[in-house]
Structure 1
Amino acid sequence: MPTPRTRPDYTADERTQLLGWLDMHRSIIHWKCEGLSDEDAHRSVLPSSPLMTAAGLVAHMRWVEHCWFEVMLLDRPSDINPQFGDVEDADMQVGGIPLSRLLEEYDRQCAVSNEVLASLSLDDTGRNTEFKAGAASVRWVMLHMIEETARHAGHLDAIRELLDGEKGYY
């Protein structure tokens, strides 16, 4: 179950604020998918971006979480992550996979990401030496993930409005 869509406290410490903003945007990802049929979740509404569906974005966000928190920060293997394969946007190619399953996988990945975050200091840096981004600090990764998640929540907002007219900020 996603966390409530609430902003962190104005005077909370840095870690609490960063995680609070990230969790809020993760929850918005869920909210934008509430009530969508599997057919609509897989329906493309952007002619120039046919893989940018609600289902494709949820899958993408799952793999982005895996990439940054597990691969870049902890140097865990990347071989299961389709972003590291030879097929462009393979992480968004989810035809036939129910939206409910994609959301569950996203939830599980976010829980793993939060476990990784709890084990590290904001000043720690990634352990992956294969990619330049592997040297990023935990703080940088959290800020990037807030940006990434919020950007795709905005995409989902537009997609949802084009699918069925549902709209709202949070």
Structure 2
Amino acid sequence: MTDESAALLTALTAQRRHVLGILEGLSDDALRRPVLPSGWTCLGLVRHLALDVERFWFRAVVAGERVDLETGDGGWRVPAEQPAEDVFELYRDEIARADAIIAATPPDADAAWWPVDVFPNQPPEKLRETILHVITETACHAGHLDAVRELIDGKTWLVLT
């Protein structure tokens, strides 16, 4: 892995830990409870990060792997019978797979597959741009989880005073 990829992966890993850390200790009911008017749940957001972010960007786009991808808002929907720990394990598994792809791919490598139907006017990204995209999206969602966790039980991840 190049120094550049290692630095980017370090930043991404910090955001992933934030996502998992802010949710520690929440009950199953709290993880599944819609807190915002849009109806999304903390657990749904983790599933979205696993399927629509990690799997999509690294396995499908960067590596060109043929994987099952959700359509519409399917990545956000957690079946009632799916245990919360299974969703967290799915996220951890997709992270491990993504990390392996990042380690094996030069930062200036072109995408192996590009979803032209989703991004018709955007050129394919190189790995470094994809990692930056995923850092940004994961950090944004970590912030969403911060706000929602504070609404649920008052817990905060980091407070600068």
- 2:135 alignment counterpart: 146
1:125–1:138: 8 Å Cα contact kept in structure 2?
yes
**Shift, 1:55, TM fit:** 0.2
Change (3 A) 1:41 1:129: closer
Q: Alpha-carbon deviation of 1:135?
A: 2.1
RMSD: 1.8
Alignment-derived partner of residue 32 in structure 2? 42
Match of 1:77 among 63, 66, 69: 66
Q: What pairs with 1:57-136 in structure 2 (closer than 5 Å)? A: 57-63=45-51, 64-78=53-67, 80-82=68-70, 85=71, 88-96=72-80, 97-131=82-116, 132=119, 135-136=124-125
Q: Residue 162 of structure 1 aligns with which residue?
A: 151
Alignment partner of 2:9: what SS? helix
Bigger RCO of structures 1 and 2 (CA < 8 A, at least 6 apart): 2
Indicate the SS of the match to 2:12.
Answer: helix
Task: Find the aligned partners of 1:160 and 1:134 in 2 and give their Cα distance.
Answer: 37
SS at match of 1:135: coil
Provide the rounded CA distance (Å) in 1 between the counterparts of 2:89 and 2:5. 25
Tell me which amino acid in the other structure corresponds to 1:89. D
Gaps of 5+ in 2: none
Contact 1:65 1:109 (8 Å CA) reproduced = yes
Query: Cα distance 1:117–1:142, how it changes in 2: closer, same or farther (>3 A)?
Result: same
Count of aligned pairs between the two proteins = 152
Percent identity of paired positions between Structure 1 and Structure 2: 34
Query: Take 1:143 and 1:33, find their aligned partners in 2: how far apart are those partners?
Result: 23
* Aligned 1:21-36 pairs, distance under 5 A: 21-36=11-26
Q: What runs of 5+ residues in structure 1 fail to find an aligned partner?
A: 1-11
**Displacement after TM superposition at 1:129 (Å):** 4.2
Counterpart position of 1:16: 6
If the length of structure 1 is used for normalisation, what is the TM-score?
0.83
Q: Secondary structure at the match of 1:94?
A: coil
